[in-house]
Amino acid sequence: MLGTKALEILGQEISKSEMDNYISRIKFSEKGSNSQRVIFIAPNELIAKFIQTKYANKLANIYEVHTGIKPEVLITTQKANLSIKSKDVNVKEIRSQSSLLNPSYTFDNFVVGDSNQFAFISSKQVASNPGKAYNPLFIYGSTGLGKTHLLQSIGNECLEHGKTVICITSEQFTSDFIRNLENRTMNKFKEKYRNCDVLLIDDVQFFHKSEKTQEEFFHTFNEIHAKKGQIVMTSDKPPKMLKDFEERLKSRFEWGLMADITPPELDTKIRIIKTKCEFDKIELSDDIIEYIASNMGDNIREIESAIININAFANIMRQDITLEFAKNVIKDQIKEKKEAISLENIIKDVAHEMNIKPSDIKSKNRTKNIVEARRICIYLAKTLTPNSMPQLASHFGLKDHSAVSHNIKKINNLMENDSYFKARLEELKNKILSKE
């Protein structure tokens, strides 16, 4: 049994501060653990609850990679551990544990916006009619935008309808393949993967590391597809952009439907945060929610991690969650900033965000949306660059510094009276500042 070694492996996947502050405080319980249930002892209930929420599934995944079985991972206290009784685990339970399906990932708690609507609708249709609607379904987009949530939602719904579901990452598929190849048990491997009703592969882009794995997955794909089984894959890029992949495999990926997920809009991020807070019974004020949505970037996993950290620190320190408290907790998670910002970059980014031409901003056009974009540029230029008022007046074709001051005052008034506008502006500022 991995035991303490699993904690060391987890330490390689998380930050040093997370390892020192949390994981190093728990100990493996050899007496209470078995192949289906692994128990770690925490010093108190708050730490136990926090680690259970944030790291238990990661530890279970580590066990699955190294043992082939995904156990139930419990983080508890010494006192609570005494009351935990071992339970019988039947074959059906073991089989369900050998996949990565997390029952908390459902379509009901997936927040839909313009950035993910097509992928959401496509996934729902696949889950309702596996093997017939779109096969394969290939969902792609940057890290942390909800691809895994949709993948697992498909799996959970198919499982509810009695389908045999395997949900696994490409790296775990590779590890399983190599282990069975070395043990000369490939018949067992083929029986497992080629006879399922639904095969869900997360992060398929990592198949590029192994030609043999690609060949095996190619044959697995063909077998499942021929039997009308459903295949769903996620990736950080579309098939045509996958490097070091066989053309015949990329061609298979394009057989069905490709659905992309783009970074969420500000209002979608706000709704995601509110949904997460409601689900975890965490109370955050609107100004804290808007601050997180505006400053944490687009990675939903990082945003959810920030919420968990804020709540955990508040519980441990027994403090109310104020805006200043929240800012202090997540300050290390805010992205690095650029040292020098040019006026042209500000104009270009604002124009892109507001769907107008950069040349419109410096023109005499008085259309409402262009006037607003121009004012935002002037405000951000004064905030983010060392240019003086006269320099800004000259650059934006204004009469003098008083015109610059007038535009900045208009933006300040809007920010005072419209919290959503303020959050939008804060998000835009952080997009300009964030390192690429």
Q: Residue 102 has which token pair?
A: 């997390």
Q: What's the one-letter identity of residue 423?
A: A
What residues have CB less than 8 Å from 34, skipping those under 6 apart? Answer: 86
Integer distance in angstroms from the first to the last C-alpha of the chain? 42
Three-state SS annotation for 190-213: HHHHHCCCEEEEECHHHHHHCHHH
In three-state secondary structure terms, 257 is strand
In the chain, count H helices and then E strands. Answer: 21, 8
Q: Which of 28, 134, 20 is nearest to 71 (CA)?
A: 28
**113 marked as binding residue:** no
In this structure, the number of other CB atoms found within 10 A of the CB of residue 286 comes to 12
Cβ contact 331:177 at 8 Å:
no
Task: Tell me the three state secondary structure of residue 312.
Answer: helix
* Dihedral angle, C-alpha 130, 131, 135, 138, nearest 10 °: 30
Q: How would you classify residue 257: left for phi > 0, otherwise alpha for psi between -120 and 50, otherwise beta?
A: beta
Residue 147 labeled ligand binder: yes
Indicate left, alpha or beta for 337 from its phi (over 0: left) and psi (-120 to 50: alpha): beta
Asked whether residue 144 is marked as a ligand-binding residue, the answer is yes
Tell me if 148 is assigned to a ligand binding site. yes
Give the separation between CA 34 and CA 31, rounded to whole angstroms: 8
Which residues make up each annotated binding site for ATP? Answer: 144, 146-148
